[in-house]
Structure 1
Amino acid sequence: MTGGIDWTLFAMGALAGAAAAAAFFGGLALGVRMALRRRRPLAVLLPSAAIRIALLLTFGWWVAGHGAVALAGFALAFMVLRVALLATVRAGTGGEAKPWN
């Protein structure tokens, strides 16, 4: 340990956070695509959200069991990947999303 931080645990948490973010936002993209093809999109969006949230919390709880440093790495990697994905998606759409209605 250097400076009181176990960098191995932090890296493990960051790797887990990146994987969780990829799965979470990949599931979001899949759920939205499926919902847009349905007559009643709520029937797809609600279970999709419930499953994604439950899996994210379960995985985060597991990482938190390894300590605060691992949880910090998990949260940081999740947020960094979220910001990167949003920036990429916004760049592909020309900035602002067009109104749907």
Structure 2
Amino acid sequence: MTIDWHAVITGFGTGITVSILYFVGLALSVRLALRLTHPVSVLLPSAALRIGLLLSAGWLVTDGGTSGWAFAGYTLAFFVVRFSATLMARIPRGKEAGCN
């Protein structure tokens, strides 16, 4: 079995881009929702849009799910960005970090 590196790199590059957009959208929608009395009015459409974008891009880059190597790269990219986003979310900011 040979690895199709072009497909892996294409999947990874697309996955990085789409995953960054996914988590930036999540952060923005949560910040906005925290200021509202009815947060579901922001969170539900945001989730639908972000999930749709993630799945559509994955479908396109993997040729409808037929390119396993592109899928592997796309999936790896999502988890790399997810890991980075969760690390960044744990970094204390503002008053919690001891800044006045």
Q: Same fold (TM over 0.5)?
A: yes
Unaligned runs of 5+ in 2: 94-100
Unaligned runs of 5+ in 1: 94-101
Structure 1 segment 48-67 matched on structure 2, within 5 A: 48-65=46-63, 67=67
TM-score of the aligned structures, taking structure 1 as reference length: 0.83
Aligned residues: 91
Structure 1 segment 35-74 matched on structure 2, within 5 A: 35-65=33-63, 67-74=67-74
Q: Does 1:24 align with 2:22?
A: yes
Find the counterpart in structure 1 of residue 11 from structure 2.
13
Percent identity between the two aligned chains: 44
Superposed CA RMSD? 1.4
TM-score of the aligned structures, taking structure 2 as reference length: 0.84
* Structure 1 residues 13-47: Cα deviation after superposition (integer angstroms, max 9, x where no partner): 10001011100000001111111111111110001
* Structure 1 residues 39-95: Cα deviation after superposition (integer angstroms, max 9, x where no partner): 1111100010011111111111111217111111000011011012111221336xx
Runs of 4+ in 1 over 6 A off after TM superposition: none
